[in-house]
């Protein structure tokens, strides 16, 4: 997947103040991730793609004695997280998670709905393994390529050609498993499909916009006319009976 990190950073930064109102799926994933952490305690935790701090907050509540390093590519997201959580036991860092060179090790490396934006997820997994202490755990969620497949099908019918919404480039489950197994023991990759229903296409597009999952976007500025949006909504409802959106999520873990 070729990722324009600057576009992604700008999208998340521009709408950071709206994120918490629209990230319902990310919330569900965060609760499942923290519930599945089986250790009683961790001393040092790395939270990759902390966003506005929702998952970071769950980690701190679950492991109150741990020191958490929380990093994100968006300064605006980190500013919100810092204002919500303070800096007690949390070290916030603005950085690209694929580029940063951290000089410490961790008992737990975790991430909620971030890895799908990586240029090379497998290479990053190898890098993070080196940051884990012996018997350390990596645990993360990532969106899969079936995310928003209903929208993709409807777009293809509207334009009579292949479209390229960002989720089409997300990593397949098999690729995740192949990347994890040579690096970690006790590897698990589980798939969950979440579905959300919307009153209109406009509601869905607003959700995609404000939750940051648009990635590279759904078209250049000024491209979408009301006529095109109306046609797309008609096609969507004809295909699926309603405005429904699937989120394919992989829950992954591995022990060093």
**Structure confidence by residue, pLDDT tens digits, 173-187:** 999 999 999 999 999
Residue at token pair 């907050």: 57
> What's the pLDDT score for residue 114?
95
> What's the pLDDT score for residue 8?
85
> What's the pLDDT score for residue 222?
56
Work out the pLDDT band at 113, boundaries 50, 70, 90. Answer: very high
**What is the token pair recorded at 147?**
């995310």
> What's the pLDDT score for residue 116?
93
Taking the whole predicted model, whether its pTM rises above 0.85 is answered as yes
Asked if the structure places residue 231 within a domain, the reply is: no
Instruction: Give the alpha-carbon dihedral of 215, 216, 219, 224, to 10 degrees.
Output: 40
Asked if the structure places residue 217 within a domain, the reply is: no
Written as one string, the DSSP assignment of 76-98 is: HHHHHHHHHH-STTEEEEES-TT
Tell me how far apart the terminal alpha carbons of the chain are, to the nearest angstrom: 26
User: In the chain, what percentage of residues exceed pLDDT 90?
Assistant: 78
Asked if the structure places residue 240 within a domain, the reply is: no
> What's the pLDDT score for residue 169?
86
What is the mean pLDDT of the segment spanning 216-244? 84
Asked if the structure places residue 122 within a domain, the reply is: yes
Q: Containing domain of residue 51, as a range? A: 5-145+168-194+248-255
Asked if the structure places residue 75 within a domain, the reply is: yes
Written as one string, the DSSP assignment of the chain is: ----HHHHHHHHHHTGGGHHHH-HHHHHHHHHHHHT---S--SEEEEES-TTSHHHHHHHHH-TT-EEEEEES-HHHHHHHHHHH-STTEEEEES-TTT----S-EEEEEEES-GGG-S-HHHHHHHHHHHEEEEEEEEEEEE-TTTTHHHHHHHHHHHTS----GGGGSPPHHHHHHHHTTT-EEEEEEEEEEEEEESSHHHHHHHHHHTSTTTT-SS-TT---HHHHHHHHHHHHHHHSSEEEEEEEEEEEEE-
**What is the token pair recorded at 207?**
């959700």
CA distance 208 to 143: 13
> What's the pLDDT score for residue 214?
61
Average pLDDT, the chain: 91
Asked whether the predicted pLDDT for residue 244 surpasses 80, the reply is yes
Work out the pLDDT band at 3, boundaries 50, 70, 90. Answer: low
> What's the pLDDT score for residue 104?
93
Listed as own residue / partner, the contacts of 91-98 with beta carbons closer than 8 Å and 24 or more positions apart are 91/67, 92/50, 93/69, 95/71, 96/5, 97/48, 97/49, 97/71, 97/73, 97/124, 98/123, 98/124, 98/127
> What's the pLDDT score for residue 160?
82
Q: Which residue has the higher pLDDT, 109 or 167?
A: 109
Asked if the structure places residue 215 within a domain, the reply is: no
| CATH number, position 122 | 3.40.50.150
> What's the pLDDT score for residue 215?
55
**Structure confidence by residue, pLDDT tens digits, 59-81:** 999 999 999 999 999 999 999 99
**Judging by DSSP bridges, how do beta strands 67-72 and 44-48 pair with one another?**
parallel
Asked if the structure places residue 152 within a domain, the reply is: no
Alpha-carbon radius of gyration of the chain: 18
Work out the pLDDT band at 11, boundaries 50, 70, 90. Answer: confident
Number of structural domains, the chain?
A: 1
Asked whether the predicted pLDDT for residue 220 surpasses 80, the reply is no
| 38-76 burial code (b ≥16 CB/10 A, e <16) | eeeebebbbbbbbbbbbbbbbbbebbeebbbbbbbbbeb
**What is the token pair recorded at 23?**
């990230």
């Amino acid at each position: 997947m070729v990722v324009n990190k600057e576009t992604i950073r700008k999208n998340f930064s521009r709408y950071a103040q709206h994120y918490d109102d629209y990230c319902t799926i990310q919330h569900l994933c965060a609760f499942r991730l923290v519930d599945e952490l089986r250790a009683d305690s961790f001393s040092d935790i790395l939270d990759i793609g902390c966003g506005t701090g929702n998952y970071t907050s769950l980690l701190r509540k679950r492991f109150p004695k741990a020191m958490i390093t929380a990093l994100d590519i968006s300064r605006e997201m980190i500013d919100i997280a810092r204002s919500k959580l303070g800096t007690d036991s949390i070290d916030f860092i603005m950085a690209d998670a694929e580029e940063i060179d951290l000089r410490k090790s961790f008992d737990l490396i975790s991430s909620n709905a971030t890895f799908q934006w990586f240029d090379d997820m497998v290479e990053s997994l190898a890098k993070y393994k080196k940051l884990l202490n012996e018997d350390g755990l990596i645990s993360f969620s990532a969106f899969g390529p079936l995310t928003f497949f209903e929208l993709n099908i409807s777009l293809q019918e509207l334009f009579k050609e292949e479209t390229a919404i960002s989720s089409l480039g997300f990593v397949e489950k098999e690729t995740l498993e192949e990347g994890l197994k040579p690096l970690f023991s006790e590897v698990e990759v589980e798939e969950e499909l979440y579905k959300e229903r919307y009153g209109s296409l406009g509601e869905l597009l607003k959700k995609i916009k404000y939750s940051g999952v648009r990635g590279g976007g759904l078209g250049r500025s000024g491209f979408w006319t009301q006529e095109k949006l109306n046609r797309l909504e008609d096609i969507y409802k004809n295909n699926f009976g309603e405005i429904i959106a699937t989120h394919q999520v992989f829950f992954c873990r591995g022990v060093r």
